[in-house]
């Protein structure tokens, strides 16, 4: 089989990056070799995000640039994968933006047949959604791996109909992956030298195996597995394997999950719990399924089980109908919770969502921008204060790669997902990616910690990963 070159560019969430590995695996069986540059590629695939208009515009501009490149390399094929493929298939194929291939998130298995269609000179499209596709049987080609950490997708789709979000329309209904395949993937990754896995899902807390959509047990000979059970199963692969997860939903996070996290040292003490707004009225319009009091109770539950657990969030500034009082409620909640990190955005109306159909986008752009800046400023303050609590502590750090600012320093992360910068050498010994160390935190900024190695922890990963930068 003649080897061809495929270049895959991923945008948006961690799920997209994980999906790109699925695509690379499928294409590898068809003789396609992943490359790290568009130069000389036979096939260029953009795995896209539709969560905000800005994300889509970035991809459309990239397609324009690739079209200019195709003038010089007419044999090169360009395809769009992921959420934009699902949402904008007609525009991508028929209108301004010239692409050859459009494939939705549930249709990657059809890529070999679609590429054959391209060979006959026609464009190829498959954006059909599925109720059961999980790609559980596909062994991933790990793209851009640092040799230390990896993603494991545990479920696909989303049943929540948040008013601002296109994900249910672009990724379909929730379906959970067989836990045995998840545990086996984690075990194989550990054997290959990976020391940290992140379990991925649009809403990991709603993971359910062997239960149908009505809550009925499918197979009485099989156990029902919820997310807390799955967390424990993956953590039990090895005490040397760190486990993270993303993303949680406040309405579904249970105390059982928190107890499981607290009981196992190798489940990282970090939770991403998107709030979106601190106003109950705005949350109701967003169709989030909880109010401010419910969210705050979940934060309090996290603190009860794991007092020092790091918490991050998502916040949208200027959602439909948001008043100044609503905005101040968000700032007030931030003061109460004091997040370690946050993803913060202005509201961007997405076509076909509940908000686009039901609510006017009535907050002026100037007010959205001001409110967002106030949120960012407050979060920077809180992040700096939260990071200061680490100073003086000795913490376990998993080394990931070389610091981009200095070849004499490495970076890693502690259990709280904070970046820790340490010297490359401890005495005469050079530290290695994949190695656990004990580091005393000597200083902190809002973005990272600086540590001094005081001891070597567990053995480094078996294989030598490529150096990565941060």
Provide the residue ranges of all domains of the chain, joining segments of one domain with +: 4-126, 145-268, 273-387, 394-456
- 68, two tokens: 């200019």
| Cα distance between residue 217 and residue 194, in whole Å | 34
The CATH label, of 3.40.50.300, 3.40.630.30, 3.40.50.2300, 3.30.750.210, for the domain at 145-268 is 3.30.750.210
Query: Among 334, 350, 203, which residue's Cα sits nearest to residue 275?
Result: 334
DSSP SS3 for 186: helix
At residue 1, the pLDDT reads: 54
Q: Which residues contact 428 (CB under 8 A, 6 or more apart)?
A: none
Q: 394-456 falls under which CATH superfamily?
A: Nucleic acid-binding proteins (2.40.50.140)
Evaluate whether 21 touches 144 at the Cβ level (below 8 Å): no
CB-based contact 22:135 (threshold 8 Å):
yes
The CATH class for the domain spanning 273-387 reads alpha beta
Rounded distance between C-alpha atoms, residue 463 and residue 285, angstroms: 50
Kindly tell me the sign of the dihedral angle through the C-alpha atoms of 102, 105, 106, 107: positive
Q: Domain 4-126: which CATH class? A: alpha beta
- pLDDT at position 10, please? 94
> What pLDDT is stored for residue 460 in this prediction?
44
Tens of pLDDT along 337-368?
999 999 999 999 999 899 999 999 999 999 99
User: What is residue 461's predicted lDDT score, i.e. its pLDDT?
Assistant: 42
Q: Tell me the two tokens of residue 58.
A: 């970035």
Whole-number Å distance between alpha carbons of 64 and 8: 16
Q: What is the pTM of this model?
A: 0.91
Q: Is 305 exposed, middle or buried (0-12, 13-18, 19+ CB in 10 A)?
A: middle
Helical segments of 210-323, H only: 227-235, 255-263, 280-286, 292-305
Spans of the chain below 50 pLDDT: 459-470
| CA–CA gap between residue 307 and residue 259 (Å, rounded) | 12
Q: 208-209 and 225-226: which strand pairing?
A: antiparallel
CATH fold match for the domains 4-126 and 145-268: no
């Amino acid at each position: 089989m003649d080897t061809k070159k495929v270049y895959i560019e991923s945008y948006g969430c961690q799920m997209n990056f994980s999906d790109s590995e699925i695509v690379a695996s499928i294409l590898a069986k068809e003789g396609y070799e992943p490359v790290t540059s568009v130069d000389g590629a036979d096939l260029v695939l953009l795995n896209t995000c539709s969560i905000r208009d800005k994300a889509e515009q970035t991809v459309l501009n990239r397609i324009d640039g690739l079209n200019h490149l195709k003038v010089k390399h007419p044999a090169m094929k360009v395809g769009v994968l992921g959420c934009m493929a699902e949402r904008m298939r007609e525009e991508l194929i028929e209108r301004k933006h010239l692409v050859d291939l459009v494939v939705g998130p549930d249709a990657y298995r059809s890529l070999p047949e679609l590429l054959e269609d391209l060979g006959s000179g026609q464009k190829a499209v498959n954006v059909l959604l599925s109720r059961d596709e999980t790609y559980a049987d596909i062994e991933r080609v790990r793209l851009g791996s640092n040799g230390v950490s990896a993603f494991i997708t545990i479920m696909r789709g989303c049943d929540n109909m948040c008013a601002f979000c296109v994900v249910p329309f672009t990724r379909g209904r929730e379906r959970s992956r067989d836990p045995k395949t998840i545990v086996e993937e984690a075990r194989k990754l550990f054997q290959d030298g990976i020391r940290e896995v992140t379990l991925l899902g649009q809403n990991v807390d709603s993971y359910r195996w062997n239960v149908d959509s009505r809550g009925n047990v499918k197979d009485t000979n099989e156990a029902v597995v919820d997310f807390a059970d799955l967390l424990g199963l993956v953590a039990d692969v090895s005490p040397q394997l760190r486990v993270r997860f993303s993303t949680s939903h406040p309405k579904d996070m249970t105390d059982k999950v928190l107890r499981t996290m607290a009981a196992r040292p190798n489940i990282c003490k970090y939770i991403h719990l998107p709030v979106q707004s601190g106003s109950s009225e705005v949350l109701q319009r967003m169709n989030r399924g909880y109010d401010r009091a419910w969210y705050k109770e979940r934060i309090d539950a996290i603190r009860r089980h794991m007092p020092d657990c790091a918490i991050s969030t998502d916040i949208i500034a200027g959602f439909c109908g948001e008043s100044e009082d609503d905005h101040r409620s968000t700032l007030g909640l931030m003061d109460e919770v004091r997040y370690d990190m946050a993803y913060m955005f202005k509201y961007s109306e997405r076509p076909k969502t509940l908000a686009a159909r039901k609510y006017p986008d009535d907050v002026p752009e100037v007010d959205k921008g001001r409110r967002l800046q106030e949120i960012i400023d407050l979060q920077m303050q809180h992040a700096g204060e939260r990071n200061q609590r680490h100073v003086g502590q000795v913490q376990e750090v998993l080394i990931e790669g070389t610091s981009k600012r200095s070849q004499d320093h490495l970076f890693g992360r502690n259990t709280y997902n904070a970046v820790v910068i340490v010297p490359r050498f401890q005495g005469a010994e050079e530290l290695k990616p994949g190695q656990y160390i004990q580091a005393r935190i000597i200083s902190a900024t809002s973005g990272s910690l600086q540590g001094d190695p005081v001891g070597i922890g567990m053995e480094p990963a078996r294989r030598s990963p490529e150096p990565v930068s941060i």
